[in-house]
Chain A
Amino acid sequence: MKIGFDVSQTGSSKAGCGYVADALITALTRMDMENTYLLYPFFGGDFRDPDALKTTRQIDRRGVRRIPIGRSAEEGRRFWAEMTPDKEAALGRPDIIHANNFFCPTGLSHARLVYTLHDISFLRHPEFTTEENRLVCFGGVFKAAMHADAIIAVSDYSRRSFLDVFPHYPADKIAVVHLGSRFTPDAPADPPPDMARRFRPWGFWLSVGTLEPRKNLRRMLQGYAEHQQAVKEPLPLVLAGGKGWMEDDLEAYIHQLGLGGDVVPLGYVSDAALAWLYRNCYAFVYPSLYEGFGLPVLEAMSLGAAVVTSSVTSLPEVGGEAALYVDPLDTSDIARAFSALAHDGGLRERLKARALVQAEKFSWEQSAARTLAVYRQLMEGVRPLP
């Protein structure tokens, strides 16, 4: 079978969805030598990466081909607006198209459509995103609800939420495939010199994620400030994550809280730096308001970090028994978690040990195998009449 796969967001400045696509296609093409994979560096008319041709995932293996269609924004919009048999031919006539970044093609006549559902936060908390982004996400998920032959939800939480909003969608066509961590605890871990120079191992708190309102950074900072007042020598708080949206004045807010010297925004960091940070943080703090999965939690655990995260949405599904949970809306609760860990080294050690055990329940190999099973099931089934 020929599998067409959206790699459009796997370029150099990838965030959540891009990491997922990147890790999944890498694992799939490593594990599955039988099928052909067609990679699409341009997919849909929105979310265009101008460097897609150069920086998106390339896989050098027999049976893997890149098909760049829709290079200009104009051409992209026109090509992806509505599929036709000619367009499917131009895409290499795939048997399956796996859309994984919100955009959902329609009008497919040969290919079956698999759609990765990340989350529906934009339907419950539209205030967390820009209107432009919300429209793109909703457009994609709405079309998927009408046209996807199978949906892969990244968590049971996302699956249930989707079915709440689209109760008509056949529940048996939506599978849960968890994500994996791209870090492994036994990988060589040379400290990148700039990080090691700036931060003492176990001498800093860490939080990770694109700077956007959904990540609840402001309440975390308030909780941190509250905790800080009660301790003599507080550890600094390191923020790793690229600029997102609606948090442009975050630095001003940090100063307003009087945390200028203690909070260190690093911006977008390399994988090596991120791994070092996860491994060497005192604890990883991630009180997000809404997640479809919560990849940073798993990544932190896979490198043995003690994790504080929210008790809401998909996060308990990922953190299991291994995280310290907080109410993300309650800044005092967040402050208490900082303090509990700071004062109780034993708690920290227990969380670190459990983290590694919990992380072992997830892997990209396992995710790829489940994804492949969805493809196979779909190909064996009879295509439902439109």
Chain B
Amino acid sequence: MALIAVDLTPMMPGGENGGVKILTLELLRAFQREAEGDRFLLLTASWNHDELAPFEGPGMTRLMVMEKERTGAAMLDRLPGRAARLVRRLAAVLRRRTPRAMAPRRRLLSSRGVDLLFCPFTAPNYFEPGIATVAVIHDMQHKDYPQFFPQKEIDIRNVFMADVRAKASRIICISEHVRESVVRHLQADPDRTHVVYNCIQTRLGADIPREERDAAMADLGIHRWPYMFYPANFWPHKNHRMLLTAYGIYRHRHPSRAVDLVLTGALEAEERLLKQAVDRMGIREQVHFLGFLPEATLDMVWQGAAFLVFPSLYEGFGIPVLEAMSLGKPVLCSNVTSLPEVAGDAALFFDPRKPEEMAAAMERVAGDAALAETLSARGRDRADLFRAERMVAGYLNVFREALGTPPAYDNAVSGVFEDGWTGEEVSVTFGAGPEEGRRIDITLAAPADIPGGRRRIAAVMGGRTLFKSRLARGETRVFSVPISGAPGEIALWISPTFQPAECGMGPDNRRLGLQCRTCDLIAPGSEKISLWKGA
């Protein structure tokens, strides 16, 4: 019997969160069905509170903890979709609030008797010391494909990944591929990381009457099926340009027999480029861009597919592969990252960097009914390994383990970018140590040229305000905070914060507080531990 808070604040309407949202909703449904005895408190935001209403019921209640912000919106509108998605995921790290307004947040969970905080969207925004925290890491793409991210986004991801490492009692990775990456890049303790595979979606596979389907397909502009299908947003790692190149080769080789290509997903700029390409390639009639689809329509589009083609360069898991397998659709997919692990022997693999190899795979599966049948049968068998009960049992197991061991925190400081700038919140975690004489020394500086006046700083530990202070521009000061022997966290809130880009100070649109010069953990009889050495 535990009360589990689920941080859903980063969940956006529509398809912006990609597979992460699908997984999260699936988990909630499964928790409702399978998690006997546990109760769930869904932490929502104004933009998703209503969407989550259907989950309300015995054992599951909603609590709105965040409202739409005025300041952030303008910035988010200017970012490309993918960046916005991640920044929104981080909204809580970046948001602007006064220390007074922030302080009660540190008692949000403990005052309600929450035993465990579960963060399916990774960032442990609602962390409270003493409450077990379990975070899910879906991918480490910013380490393997940094070129697909603006530098700022990499900085932000590094900051919150470090935060996860420092605070999470357990980290759930959605594949062995991700787990290896987490251990390698984050140097996370392997014993605190676990692999729990995603599960088959219960959202698909409805019976749709034929006339209804035909009418709806016509509405979508699809008049011929089956077709090959690729459901993915137009993010660079999804490799759509290579897919079109391969499709062009395939089409050219089989001008009359080739099946069409259906794409879902959205991202304006890239979609424009792809549509232009399709025009130039003379395959406008054969390639269908359906945009983001509601679930029922998506289900239907799946049913009209001959097979899945999945040329992604990077996946943490690859949910569409599972969807295809469960629906008995043959899978053609990349032989990289998590995909071989997920698809096993039930797919025809290709190198996603070789268009001719990809085209040959299309040719084979489209032209060889026996092969398609074999892949379909193997897929159905394999799908069985990814039943929802397995996934829920995996998650609940990790929750139990996290609840059964006292929280252990890294000695670490988070909320500081690599160049020493803090966001509006700095969090210092520390492990157990001697009861007497321990302290944290943190040196903060307010550069003389920052916009705005004095900075206010509030420090909170375990829901208790330690001190409030002010720092004038041009001033540098060491703040020294005594701590007990127990593991815990000190949070510092800084206000006001600013975005250099909005103040005419260059392209940097991070929200910044102060410069963190040093941060040390000092204990009697041992060397000081430097948590931050400055940029």
Residues of A within 8 A of B (CB): 74, 106, 122-124, 126, 131-132, 134-135, 138-139, 142, 145-147, 164-168
Contacts and interface: CB of A to CB of B under 8 A. Distances in A.
Given A122-B353, A134-B353, A168 B280 contact: yes
Given A74-B507, A138-B242, A123 B249 contact: no
A99 to B, nearest CB: 17
A124 B236 CA distance: 20
B354 A126 contact: yes
A124 B282 CA distance: 24
B439 to A, nearest CB: 42
Nearest to A139: B241
Contacts of B507: 74
Contact of A123 (B147, B283, B356): B356
Interface in B272-313: 273, 276-277, 280-283
A121 B410 CA distance: 47
B214 interface: no
A323 B245 CA distance: 36
Contact of B355 (A106, A123, A131, A132): A123
Interface of B: 145, 147, 236, 241-242, 245, 248-249, 252, 273, 276-277, 280-283, 351, 353-356, 507
A290 to B, nearest CB: 13
A123 B353 contact: yes
Contact of B249 (A126, A132, A165): A165
Given A126-B351, A142-B245, A165-B356, A132 B281 contact: no
B248 A166 contact: yes
Given A165-B245, A168-B252, A146 B351 contact: no
A139 B356 CA distance: 17
Given A106-B273, A164-B356, A168-B280, 18 more contacts: A122-B353, A123-B354, A124-B356, A134-B353, A135-B147, A135-B236, A138-B241, A138-B353, A142-B277, A145-B245, A146-B276, A146-B277, A165-B245, A165-B355, A166-B248, A167-B249, A168-B248, A168-B283
A122 B354 CA distance: 8
B356 A168 contact: no
A124 B507 CA distance: 38
Contacts of A147: 280
A106 B280 CA distance: 13
19 contacts: A106-B273, A123-B354, A123-B356, A124-B354, A124-B356, A131-B145, A134-B353, A138-B242, A146-B276, A146-B277, A146-B280, A146-B281, A164-B249, A164-B356, A165-B245, A165-B249, A165-B355, A167-B248, A167-B252
A366 B172 CA distance: 63
A126 B353 contact: yes
Contacts of A124: 354, 356
B269 to A, nearest CB: 9
A168 B282 contact: yes
Contacts of B241: 138-139, 142
Contacts of A139: 241
Nearest to A106: B273
A106 B145 CA distance: 24
A135 B147 CA distance: 9
Contacts of A126: 351, 353-354
B285 to A, nearest CB: 14
A122 to B, nearest CB: 7
A95 to B, nearest CB: 22
Contacts of B354: 123-124, 126
A310 to B, nearest CB: 21
Contacts of A164: 249, 356
A132 B148 CA distance: 10
B507 to A, nearest CB: 6
Contact of A132 (B147, B236, B245, B280): B147
A142 B147 CA distance: 18
Nearest to B353: A126
Nearest to A122: B353
A46 to B, nearest CB: 9
B445 to A, nearest CB: 27
A310 B507 CA distance: 50
B522 to A, nearest CB: 41
B140 to A, nearest CB: 15
